[in-house]
Amino acid sequence: MSQVLIVSDSKSNTKLISSELMKRYDFEVIIKESADEAISFLEILGEVDLIISFEMLKGEFSAGKICEFLNNNQELFPIAMPVMIVGKLQIEYPKKHEIITQAKLEDIVKYAGYILGKEKSFIQPVFVIEEPKEEKVQEKTTVFRLPSKEILNQLESQGGNISNQEFNAQLVSMLVDYYGVLSCDLYIKKNQSDEYEVRFPKGVKIEKTDFEKLKIKGIRHLYSKNIENTNYLNDTNLHFLNKMKSLGGDVEVSLSLGAISYDILLDQIKSSKFDSFTIELIKLSLKNFDYLVKSEKSLQSFLQAVESKRFLYSFTHAFLTSYFMYLVFDKFSWSKDHSKNKLLYLSFFHDMALSNDKLIKKHHKFLATKSSFNEEEIKVVLNHGDQMAIILEKIIKAPKELIALIREHHGSFNGIGISETLNPKVYPLSKMFMVMEYLVTYYLDIMEKKNTPGNLLTPEQYNIFVNEVNTKYSKFNYLEVLPFINDIIKPVIVKNP
């Protein structure tokens, strides 16, 4: 008789799954309500034929914890036990089986029967992000996945960004709505050195205003020790994901959380952190980004935020580029060959490998100000297109054109370097993107230097942009987008004469 260990804190789920497994396949079922209980059981009684674990239980990444335990104790379990994860995998494991969180209980039961040889076949439900139904493209889905441990090591070595082994950083802006009695010490980093000091000790009750004061002082990160912060990190991560999941209908809230999530992802990519939290946050952030780009209400709110400098430059630049491209996209004969999701992903991801808001802003003038960059910055800037393409290839299954678009967004086919001449062979969408990015960079430069209220260009300032674009992009159909900028975008960013 096969033994199945179910790890779930939902009594209704476990009752239904266990009764069906016993009735249908004559399996013996053991039920545990947490990863710790399951691990204690396995330490004492040893192997079972299958473990079914829900990904998250009470804010803890339970499935990952169980797989990590099995990986670290192979002397106890010389033959790897199959583990079915309802959700997403937290760690690489030899006999992993994943089924989506939204799967019906019937699917979970049949999949267990298939794994243990009681069912001849099983069609696995797949979690995908679907493109809008009206889009008619050959490749209609983008599937997100957790990279393997081997791939994570490759990404770290290629990017040169390996996360600190002792401390884990979290953005203060992410924590503002998560406060109360601390379950671990929170540290600040002293003068950008490797020294840390406790700012909020474990057990102390902190208020929202404590985090807001840190933001005012310009402190962006708090740190906790990896050996003691598991529950705290899980709780804060889950809290933020739940906030992102509940978005919809309120443009102001969506913009604010979108800006924070973008900042978090810059941090995650800089540290080569591609865990399930990062993957889930990418999906939710793109969904929110898509909603904002399509909302008629969001532009005016966003331009007001630009005037008050509420958001980081990186998010501001990515959003405006995407929004303006969305407005003119359908005007091109070639637009039928590209889905709008490619446009969205290109705007969202293209500069993320720079991983630094200051560098993202600075690199737009790289060719003119190269002497102001240090050696490391030059290396990062010249390779960021290729580096971001490599990262996306590892974490999403996407149309090949998207990866190519990320690589060539500065005019280079391989994503290395910033082309000083116009490349006639890049995608038409890349040509449009480069001109639109030039417009957004120009607009944000003017807004930053303004001493008077308002978020609009003067006609004279806009004419300077047109003259510069006509000079810089005079060949190979790069200026195909300019008439549409004049007709559609100019009225929303330029004062009436």
Q: What is the structure's pLDDT at 152?
A: 54
Q: What is the structure's pLDDT at 319?
A: 95
Residues forming a β-bridge with 53: 7, 85
Report the helix count and the strand count for the chain, using DSSP H and E.
Answer: 21, 14
Tens digit of each residue's pLDDT (9 = 90 or more) over 247-298: 767 888 899 999 999 998 988 888 777 777 888 888 899 999 999 998 888 8
Helix (H) or strand (E) holding 246: none
pLDDT top residue among 324 and 46? 324
pLDDT top residue among 275 and 129? 275
Domains 3-127 and 166-225 share a fold: no
Domain assignments of the chain as residue spans, ordered by start: 3-127, 141-162+241-493, 166-225
CATH C-level class of 3-127: alpha beta
In the predicted model, what is the mean pLDDT of the chain? Answer: 83
Q: What is the structure's pLDDT at 296?
A: 82
Mean pLDDT computed over 192-197: 72
- Give the closest residue to 291 by CA, choosing from 331, 260, 246: 246
pLDDT top residue among 8 and 178? 8
Mean pLDDT computed over 117-139: 53
Q: Give the pLDDT band (50/70/90) at residue 144.
A: low
Mean pLDDT computed over 457-461: 95
In three-state secondary structure terms, 31 is strand
Q: What is the structure's pLDDT at 363?
A: 94
Question: What is this structure's pTM?
Answer: 0.68
Q: What is the structure's pLDDT at 465?
A: 96
Q: What is the structure's pLDDT at 142?
A: 56
Find the radius of gyration of the CA atoms of the chain.
25
pLDDT top residue among 279 and 317? 317
Q: What is the structure's pLDDT at 104?
A: 83
Tens digit of each residue's pLDDT (9 = 90 or more) over 339-368: 678 888 999 999 999 978 899 999 999 999
Q: Give the pLDDT band (50/70/90) at residue 134.
A: very low
Tens digit of each residue's pLDDT (9 = 90 or more) over 357-405: 899 999 999 999 999 999 999 999 999 999 999 888 877 766 678 889 9
Residue 52 makes CB contacts below 8 A (sequence gap 6+) with 4, 5, 6, 7, 8, 17, 83, 84, 86, 108, 112
How many whole angstroms separate alpha carbon 32 and alpha carbon 447?
58
**Domain 166-225 adopts which CATH fold?**
Molybdopterin biosynthesis moea protein, domain 2 (3.90.105)
Mean pLDDT computed over 442-456: 89
pLDDT top residue among 461 and 419? 461
Q: What is the structure's pLDDT at 126?
A: 46
Q: What is the structure's pLDDT at 109?
A: 92
User: What percent of the chain lies above the pLDDT cut of 90?
Assistant: 35
Q: Give the pLDDT band (50/70/90) at residue 435.
A: very high
How many whole angstroms separate alpha carbon 203 and alpha carbon 206?
9
Q: What is the structure's pLDDT at 228?
A: 62
Q: Give the pLDDT band (50/70/90) at residue 215.
A: confident
Other C-beta atoms closer than 10 Å to the C-beta of 84 total: 22
Q: Give the pLDDT band (50/70/90) at residue 127.
A: very low
In three-state secondary structure terms, 286 is helix
Tens digit of each residue's pLDDT (9 = 90 or more) over 474-494: 988 899 999 999 999 999 999
- Give the closest residue to 208 by CA, choosing from 179, 238, 166: 179
The whole-angstrom distance between residue 184's C-alpha and the CA centroid of its chain comes to: 26
Mean pLDDT computed over 114-131: 65
Q: What is the structure's pLDDT at 43?
A: 84
Q: Give the pLDDT band (50/70/90) at residue 129.
A: very low
Tens digit of each residue's pLDDT (9 = 90 or more) over 38-83: 999 888 877 899 999 988 887 677 888 888 888 888 877 767 789 9
